[in-house]
Structure 1
Amino acid sequence: MSLKQYEHLAQGQALSLDTVINHLKADDHGLIAAIAQQHDTGEVLMLAYMNEKSIRETLATGQVCYWSRSRQTYWRKGESSGHRQSLVSMSFDCDGDAILMQVDQKGPACHTNRRDCFFFTVENDQVVVRSAPIDDTI
C-alpha cells in the first residue's frame, strides 16, 4: 500500500497519523530518508534516516530523533553535542518514501562541526569544500 490512494484529497482534508505511517515506504530495514531543513532560512542541513519509532518520538517530544545506521541505535540529535534540532513541522512526500522536517537547529548540524552536511560543492570539474568548521568555543 502507498499514499498514492490519497492523492485525490483536497486541501484541508486530513488523514490519521497511523494511516500515513502505515502507508510509508520504508526500506528493508524499516528506514525512511529524512531531510532536515532550517525552518526560517530554508537551508538544507542534513539527511538521515528514521523509522516508525523515531518518527513517533520526534512528534511526541519535539526533539528530532533519528536511527543511526552506523551505530544501530536511536540518535537524538544534539544529545551529546548540545547541537539540538527542535521540530517545527514534519511533512511526507507524495510517494511516502521521504520525510521533510522543518527544524530549529542550535549550533552545527554536521558531525564535522559545520553548519550543514552539504559542504562539498561541485565547481566546474572539481569538488570544493565551501565551509569551515564552526568554532563554537567562543
Structure 2
Amino acid sequence: MRPPVADIADVVSFNADGLVAAIAQQHDTGEVLMMAWMNAEALAETLSTGRVCYYSRSRGKLWRKGESSGQTQALIDLRIDCDGDALLLLVDQSGVACHTGRRSCFYRAARPEGLVEIAAPEISPDALYGHTHNH
C-alpha cells in the first residue's frame, strides 16, 4: 500500500523553481546511483506508480527513468530529510543508472593525482539510447 501523496507533498520543501533534490540509492547494497530533481507531479507519479519519475530541467518535462533506455528504477522506499528539502529514494535499479552507461553517476573520485575514473561503462550510451545522448 502506497502512502497518501498529499501527506508526503505537504512536508516537502520545493525550491523556488518548484523542485526538490532526489538521491537514488540501490536498496539492498546502499550504492548511491544518482541525483536528479523532482517536481510535485514527478513525486506524485512516483508514489502512485512505484516507478521513479523525475523532472528534467534541460527538457522542461517529466522524465520517466528508463523510458528511452529501459534502465528503470522501482521504488522500494522514499525518505525525506529533516528539512524536507531532499529526498532519498531507495530503489531497485534495473541495469545502469547513469546516461554514460555506468552503474552509478558517481564514477569520478578526487585523488592526490587528480580526478580519477573509478568505474568503467557497462554499456555504451549508443546501445542504451540508440544514438548519441546528451544529459
Amino acid aligned to 2:73 = Q
What is the aligned partner in structure 2 of residue 101 from structure 1? 89
Q: Return the alpha-carbon distance in structure 1 between the equivalents of residues 65 and 8 of structure 2.
A: 24
What is the aligned partner in structure 1 of residue 115 from structure 2? 127
Alignment of 1:11-50 (within 5 A): 17-50=5-38
Higher mean Cα deviation, 33-42 or 52-61?
Answer: 52-61
Check if 1:90 corresponds to 2:74. Answer: no
Larger radius of gyration: 1
Where do 5+ consecutive residues of structure 1 fail to align? Answer: 1-14
Amino acid aligned to 2:100 = T
RMSD of aligned C-alpha atoms? 1.7
Q: Return the alpha-carbon distance in structure 1 between the equivalents of residues 118 and 49 of structure 2.
A: 34
Give the TM-score normalised by the residue count of structure 2: 0.85
Amino acid aligned to 1:95 = D
Q: How many residues align?
A: 123
Q: Return the alpha-carbon distance in structure 1 between the equivalents of residues 112 and 48 of structure 2.
A: 45
Give the 4+ runs in structure 1 shifted more than 6 A. none
DSSP 3-state at the match of 2:102: coil
Give the Å deviation of 1:128: 0.2
66, 70, 83: which one aligns with 2:58: 70
8 Å CA contact 2:21–2:38 kept in 1: the answer is yes
Give the Å deviation of 1:21: 1.5
Give the TM-score normalised by the residue count of structure 1: 0.83
Give the Å deviation of 1:16: 6.1
Give the Å deviation of 1:17: 4.6
Where do 5+ consecutive residues of structure 2 fail to align? Answer: 128-135
Give the Å deviation of 1:19: 3.9
Describe the superposition over 1:50-108 as per-residue Cα deviations: whole angstroms up to 9, x where unpaired: 01111110011111000001111100000110000000000100100000010000111
